[in-house]
Amino acid sequence: MSRQIFYIFFYRLASGKETGQYKTHMKIGIMTGGGDAPGLNGIIEAASRTLLLQGHEVVGILDGFEGIFENRTRNITLQEIHGIHAQAGTFLGTSNRTKVEGRAEEFQAAFAKLGCDGLIAAGGDGTFIGLSKIAPNLPIVGVPKTIDNDLQGTDITFGFDTACTVVSEAVDALRYTAEAHRRVMVVETMGRTAGWIALGGGLAGYADAILIPERPFSREKLKNFLVEKRNLKIKGLVVVISEAAKALNEEATYETVEGAIHSIRYGGVGERLSKWIETETGWESRYVVLGHLQRSHAPTTTDRFLTASLGALAAQLAMAKKWKMAAVYRNGIVTSAPLTEIQGPPRTIDPDHRWVKLCQSLGIYI
């Protein structure tokens, strides 16, 4: 997939199908918003390189929306971004707690003060919905970002492959301690209401069971599955559970966090499931919450190819003044789409998705 992303994108770039002509010198701002994701630095480096090598000026906006409101920026040079694509986090900083509602005039005045001709923003639906409300006429190009892989309008979001890699490596490692102590190890993943990370990472690690929000599980069937494995003298098992997964006729485990962009914060389901397994099945059980480890890993090769192509395309769209567009991955290629198409409710897993069927073929409980 990585080579296909790269080759097809640059063929389209060379043929001029995506970008049109551009010659005027421009000053473009780059911002990362919302939670961090592996590959953000790849977007910054690829977009900045593309712009700078064409003689344009690039202004890095620090800490998301806060950098605009507080006029905190840095001029980006080729020297200082060289190689940052390999690093986790974001060179510019980010924030998912800045209040933007009701601050339209303030935002527009602050952005005008920056003197930028346009903005490239890498963020989730919250970033783009917020911008559309407070600055509907903002000249912007978007790059959809979330490790959860649940944004509309794109088949894959950068950071997802890296998050799945963290999960699969955890499954591989924890299988050893599971078998050493004859335990069931429960691995809790991120993902909010979408189970993509649990499913992708769990499948890649051949977890014994994968529990996702889109397929509420039967406690009775899961119990029978685990007891059967114990009776077969299996040494140990690994169960992967998404943070918003739940049993049939039950609610997901969450807490309410005042002042956060997402006021509902899921988590704790791994601990609850582990205790239930010990009580109901005879297996000893322990749990691991991977949490922000899924965000802080250096991007995988696949995410590096993806962000190189997405970042370069975002820059080309900006130079061509094709505003209110997004750089996305669809049907095997990196292409552009209206920014409105990446906004909307979370893109969740079809309960009969091909990955679900593959799990079933492999004997993985799901």
Catalytic residue list contains 148: yes
What is the C-alpha to C-alpha distance for residues 238 and 172, in angstroms, rounded to an integer? 9
Q: Which residue bears the tokens 């820059």?
A: 315
Backbone region of residue 283 per phi and psi (left: phi > 0; alpha: psi in -120 to 50; beta: other values): beta
With b for 16 or more beta-carbon neighbours within 10 A and e for fewer, the 108-142 pattern comes to bebbeebebbbbbbbbbbbbbbbbbebbeebbbbb
Q: Which residue bears the tokens 């061509």?
A: 320
Residue from 301, 315, 298 nearest 45 by CA: 315
SS3 330: strand
What is the C-alpha to C-alpha distance for residues 215 and 166, in angstroms, rounded to an integer? 23
Which neighbouring-strand residues pair with 74?
Answer: 60
Strands 325-330 and 333-338: antiparallel
Q: Return the structure tokens found at 210.
A: 């994968």
Residue among 36, 148, 150, 303 flagged as catalytic: 148
Cα–Cα–Cα angle for 62, 65, 67, rounded to 5 degrees: 35
What residue ranges in 136-294 does DSSP mark as E strands?
Answer: 140-144, 183-189, 209-211, 237-242, 254-256, 264-266, 284-289
Active site residue ranges: 148
